[in-house]
Amino acid sequence: MLLVTHHFAPEGGAPARRWESLIERLTAFGFEFAVLAPPPHDATGRVTDPRPEYRRGHASRGPCGELILRTGYRRHSASLPSRTHDQVVAALSSVAIGVRRFHRRDARPHVVIGTVPGIPSMFAGWALARILGARFVIEMRDAWPDLIDSSGMLGTTSRLGVRRRLRVLVTHVAHRTISRLQTHADLVVTTTETFAAVLRDRGQEAVTVVRNGTRPPAVLTLDPDAPPRGRPGVDRPLRALYLGTVGRAQCLDTVVQAARLVADRGYRLEVRIVGRGAHAARVHRLARQLGAPVTVEPPVPHHQAIELYRWADTAIVALHGWGRSSGPSRRRCTRSWRAAPR
């Protein structure tokens, strides 16, 4: 199998961890993997590890024996156009390196998997599958670009300037193009049943669901019989935690505004937003402007997440109202922590 992805180990985000787990399980059944991914870089586009094996064009082996080929990338800002440019550069580099490495008949993969996001990785996977004569699988970790279209995040063209009208047009074209490509894939993998149903309604028959999750050992360390830590909101503030991406889709401005309203009504509340994303600075500024009981903190390593959930009384799932595409897989991951002591 050949995986085309924009995020891979040693990055610590959810997409990289998801495929780390999938490769670990699938190689146990005899599958062999090659991975095309850019060097590990953070939300600002900076390479997070300068070791030679992460440089463009370098090949190395992962912990399960997977062949990892590093593609080109472009340093970027937190803006959507800049990040998209980086994803396009990585996707084009993936095609070039993939064709050069796997063009021989005895080296060709049987299956090519393109992951979304980033969206360009899906097109790179499709191109490689066509060129190499392989089956094509799309993994839709999120329901993009449906989420942009259904949420009205970009507004309507009658209220927008020329540049934003162009962005709306590009989004709609991408939506139709991606939908068409999905119907031509041999298999589409989603993380929720609701989005799988949307795809089936569009004519995609081969759809399966592989949910996000967590490792049981981490969950089992929580003690459901631990003594109470005081009455939340009475003896101490109610502790609410958001852990994840602080981006456009999460609409965390609403969380900040709601926290301010709760405080104005005399209730004790403490909200921690932990993560990185395009809107982290914006959410932080809003919290300061409103005087809301909200702190915005940088991400923590995955193994430290358990301590954040120990601290919290409740976890926040924050997303726009997506309509039929609601019910994000994050809820299922969060439920795994429901045994956290109160």
Nearest to 276 by CA among 50, 13, 24, 98: 13
Long-range contacts of 180-186 (CB under 8 A, 24+ apart): 181/122, 181/123, 181/126, 181/138, 182/138, 182/140, 184/126, 184/136, 185/126, 185/136, 185/137, 185/138, 186/135, 186/136, 186/137
Tell me the domain boundaries of the chain: 2-209, 216-335
pLDDT of 165: 77
Q: In the structure encoding, which two tokens stand for residue 19, read together? A: 């495929």
Backbone angles phi, psi at 83, to 5 degrees: -65, -40
Which CATH number is 216-335 given? 3.40.50.2000
Q: DSSP character for 338?
A: T
Query: What is the C-alpha to C-alpha distance for residues 38 and 121, in angstroms, rounded to an integer?
Result: 11
| Residues 324, 193: Cα–Cα separation, whole Å | 11
Same fold? 2-209, 216-335: yes
pLDDT of residue 65: 95
pLDDT in the model for residue 147: 63
Q: How many angstroms separate the Cα of 214 from the Cα of each of 18, 21, 105, 145, 276?
A: 9, 10, 38, 26, 20
For the chain, the first-to-last Cα distance in angstroms comes to 44
Distance of CA 25 to CAs 2, 18, 21, 64, 121, Å? 16, 11, 6, 9, 23
Q: How far is 247 from 204, CA to CA, in rounded Å?
A: 29
Bridge partner residues of 70 (DSSP): 37
**CATH superfamily of this structure's domain 2-209:** Glycogen Phosphorylase B; (3.40.50.2000)
Mean pLDDT by 10 residues, the chain (342 residues): 95 86 95 96 75 89 96 84 90 97 95 92 96 96 65 53 74 80 92 90 90 65 66 88 87 95 95 91 96 95 85 86 53 47 42
